[in-house]
């Protein structure tokens, strides 16, 4: 599909190359500009107007096709401004701007007196474009196709050749893959012109071991890339990214933009600062004619954001420093799992704060550094799962974040407690792991905390208990008995029996009334079933 323009009123639309369509505004012929929408979106307003004028001028006939003083059959809103009908040109079509940021509302943008001020988030790029709605074309007259002058044909051919050459040059600079890039690494194309605007600079990213990215189609991957690119340019004031599409395509895709952003965040636990009370994504849509322009942006971060990022990176390096990366993937997984549950303490204090979901204890940062209250290596289930996923990714092992219900009392989801855990890919097969429930930590009000130190010496029951939810199939996780995890400890003449792993269930399930159900349902469609048994304990 390419951009077409009306030969009279300059209205633009996205049509098939072979289309023969009349202008919906004035009835005139729509002329192909010979340029795809992706290239059209990269042009500024001056370039667009120049492009339209060149094509229309080349096709302009010697004799006018209309009487500029004849308004007898024109639409009421197509007449020029005059005293009697000034209200028509003063109140043209209102284009709605939608903002999906939580708690924000954007006022409607009105095109007043045939001119609209286009708001730009990039300083120095603000501009105005006039939109004229008058026309002198009679809607009931036949479309006369003027003969094209031989010179015009030559001009058109030359213009098309130049455009294709420019497009080929652009594509050559902005395509290709970068090898050996970790999921949290950005690569900037060095061939890009340093003088180009922010929106024109398109960094190239390769995402490895990212389940959701690999599951998306090319169209949705573009939105994923845009969201990630915004994060990589988070410290550049006014940086945003845009997509343009016809209204039909926008209607199909509108409700998928934020779920795709959540998919990107689920692939990248290192972006913990986007999951706490920090930055928020915003999406605005402006519709002009049949073209919708969607602008993606990222809000301001917290003052200590970069300091936290640096601390997180140091903590990750420290954690991985004694992991033997020359071992097999199952051996590496075991090393990371065991070290993680020894390092992290379950955040009972956060649990008591009525599930403050903006706390860092829900993120990998809480597990590897500290929660929002400054408690070291404290996290709830989400923090354990994201840390485990990210550490495995650093070792080149694919893992993903899973959410649903879990119940350790009856195994029937009677409490319907929201929970998070992981799936891990080993030798092409998936396994489910819950490092949080494998961590046997005494609660703050435990009457005898020394007892928890004693049970560590009870083998193999203690080992079984700390690997009870480790490398299981999805079916096993749905109903898991306590098995050989009952720990008995004798103190004097008293035998104590400790049951850390009561019958339990983990299910990828949410009720439609739950907050965030739509995101859960979207992401859950991409999660594979865990069927691996080779590396089960």
Last residue of a domain, one of 115, 144, 168: 168
Above 50 in pLDDT, residue 136? no
Residues 149 and 195 in one domain: no
Residues 139 and 255 in one domain: no
Above 80 in pLDDT, residue 512? yes
Last residue of a domain, one of 273, 298, 323: 298
Across the range 489-496, mean pLDDT stands at 80
192 vs 486, which has greater pLDDT?
486
Question: Which pLDDT tens digit goes with each residue over 149-160?
Answer: 556 656 665 665
Residues 121 and 197 in one domain: no
Kindly report whether the peptide bond that precedes residue 340 is cis, defined as omega within 30 degrees of 0.
no
- Residue 518: which pLDDT band, with cuts at 50, 70 and 90? very high
Selection from 514, 533, 516 nearest residue 413 by Cα = 514
**172's tokens:** 């050559």
Residues 233 and 113 in one domain: no
Selection from 239, 307, 230 nearest residue 264 by Cα = 230
Domain count, the chain: 3
Question: Count of CB atoms within 10 A of residue 154's CB?
Answer: 11
Question: Which pLDDT tens digit goes with each residue over 402-432?
Answer: 999 998 777 776 666 789 999 999 999 999 9
Question: Which pLDDT tens digit goes with each residue over 43-62?
Answer: 877 778 788 887 777 665 54
Selection from 244, 356, 238 nearest residue 290 by Cα = 244
Q: Provide the pLDDT for residue 223.
A: 97
Q: Which domain holds residue 180?
A: 175-298
Q: Which of 5-14, 406-415, 475-484 has the highest mean pLDDT?
A: 475-484
Instruction: Specify if 289 maps to a domain.
Output: yes
**Cβ atoms of residues 27 and 139 within 8 Å:** yes
- Residue 447: which pLDDT band, with cuts at 50, 70 and 90? low
Last residue of a domain, one of 245, 269, 298: 298
Of the listed ranges 31-35, 82-86, 404-408, the least confidently predicted one is 82-86
Instruction: Specify if 25 maps to a domain.
Output: yes
Residues 93 and 183 in one domain: no
* Helices marked H in 299-380: 305-320, 329-343, 348-352, 364-368
- The pairing of strands 345-346 and 378-379 is parallel
Residues 292 and 329 in one domain: no
- Residue 346: which pLDDT band, with cuts at 50, 70 and 90? very high
Instruction: Specify if 533 maps to a domain.
Output: no
* CATH value at residue 472: 3.10.620
Helix (H) or strand (E) holding 209: none
Above 60 in pLDDT, residue 200? no
Residues 329 and 472 in one domain: yes
Residues 309 and 452 in one domain: yes
The mean predicted confidence, pLDDT, of the chain is 76
Across the range 475-502, mean pLDDT stands at 86
CA-CA distance, 356 to 317, in Å (whole number)? 28
Instruction: Specify if 69 maps to a domain.
Output: yes
| Angle, CA 499 vertex, CA 493 and CA 501 arms, to 5° | 160
CA-CA distance, 316 to 377, in Å (whole number)? 12
341 vs 193, which has greater pLDDT?
341
Across the range 351-361, mean pLDDT stands at 81
Instruction: Specify if 326 maps to a domain.
Output: yes
Instruction: Specify if 164 maps to a domain.
Output: yes
Torsion of CA 72, 74, 77, 79, to 10 degrees: -60
Residues 464 and 336 in one domain: yes
Buried b / exposed e along 420-455 (16+ C-beta atoms within 10 A): bbbbbbbeebbbbbbbbbbbbebeeeeeeeeeeebb
508 vs 4, which has greater pLDDT?
508
Residues 253 and 346 in one domain: no
Residues 196 and 124 in one domain: no
Residues 471 and 358 in one domain: yes
Instruction: Specify if 536 maps to a domain.
Output: no
Phi then psi dihedrals of residue 403, to 5 deg: -130, 160
CA-CA distance, 435 to 157, in Å (whole number)? 65
Q: Provide the pLDDT for residue 131.
A: 30
Above 60 in pLDDT, residue 37? yes
Instruction: Specify if 517 maps to a domain.
Output: yes
Q: Which long-range CB contacts under 8 A does 15-22 form with residues at least 24 apart?
A: 22/143
């Amino acid at each position: 599909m390419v951009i077409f323009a009306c030969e009279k009123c300059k209205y633009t639309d996205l049509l098939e190359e072979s289309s023969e369509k009349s202008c919906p505004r004035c009835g005139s012929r729509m002329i192909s500009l010979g340029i795809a929408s992706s290239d059209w979106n990269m042009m500024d307003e001056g370039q667009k107007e120049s492009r339209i004028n060149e094509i229309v001028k080349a096709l302009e006939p010697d004799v006018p096709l209309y009487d500029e003083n004849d308004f007898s059959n024109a639409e009421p809103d197509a007449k020029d401004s005059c005293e009697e009908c000034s209200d028509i040109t003063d109140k043209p079509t209102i284009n709605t701007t939608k903002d999906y940021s939580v708690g924000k509302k954007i006022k409607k943008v009105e095109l007043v007196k045939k001119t609209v001020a286009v708001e730009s988030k990039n300083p120095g790029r603000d501009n105005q474009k006039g939109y004229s709605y008058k026309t002198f074309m009679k809607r009931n007259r036949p479309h006369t196709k003027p003969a094209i002058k031989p010179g015009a044909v030559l001009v058109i051919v030359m213009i098309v050749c130049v455009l294709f050459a420019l497009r080929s040059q652009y594509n050559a600079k902005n395509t290709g893959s970068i090898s050996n890039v970790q999921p949290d690494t950005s690569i900037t194309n060095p061939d890009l012109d340093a003088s180009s605007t922010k929106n024109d600079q398109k960094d190239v990213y390769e995402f490895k071991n990212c389940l959701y990215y690999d599951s998306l189609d090319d169209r949705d991957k573009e939105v994923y890339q845009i969201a990630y690119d915004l994060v990589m340019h988070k410290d550049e004031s006014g940086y945003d990214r845009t997509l343009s599409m016809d209204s039909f395509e926008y209607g199909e895709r509108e409700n998928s933009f934020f779920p795709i952003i959540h998919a990107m965040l689920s692939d990248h636990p290192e972006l913990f600062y986007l999951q706490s009370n920090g930055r928020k994504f915003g999406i605005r849509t402006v519709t002009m004619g049949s073209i919708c322009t969607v602008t993606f942006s990222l809000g301001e971060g917290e003052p200590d954001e970069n300091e936290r990022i640096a601390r997180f990176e140091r903590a990750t390096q420290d954690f991985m420093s004694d992991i033997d990366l020359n071992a097999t993937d199952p051996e590496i997984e075991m090393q990371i799992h065991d070290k993680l549950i020894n390092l992290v303490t379950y955040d009972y204090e956060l649990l008591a704060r009525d599930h403050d979901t903006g706390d860092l204890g829900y993120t990998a940062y809480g597990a590897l550094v500290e929660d929002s209250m400054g408690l070291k290596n404290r996290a709830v289930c989400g923090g354990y799962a994201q840390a485990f996923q990210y550490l495995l990714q650093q070792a080149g092992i694919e893992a993903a974040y899973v959410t649903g219900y879990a119940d350790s009392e009856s195994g029937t989801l009677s409490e319907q407690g929201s929970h998070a855990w992981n799936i891990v890919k080993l030798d092409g097969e998936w396994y489910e792991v819950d490092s949080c429930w494998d961590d046997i930590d005494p609660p703050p009000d435990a009457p005898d905390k020394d007892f928890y130190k004693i049970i560590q010496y009870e083998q193999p029951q203690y080992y079984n208990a700390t690997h009870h939810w480790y490398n299981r199939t999805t079916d096993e996780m749905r109903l898991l008995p306590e098995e050989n995890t009952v720990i008995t400890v004798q103190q004097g003449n008293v035998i104590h029996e400790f049951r850390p792993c009561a019958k339990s269930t983990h299910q990828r399930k949410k009720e439609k009334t739950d907050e965030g159900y739509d995101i859960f349902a979207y992401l859950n469609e991409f999660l594979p079933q865990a069927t691996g048994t080779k590396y089960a304990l």
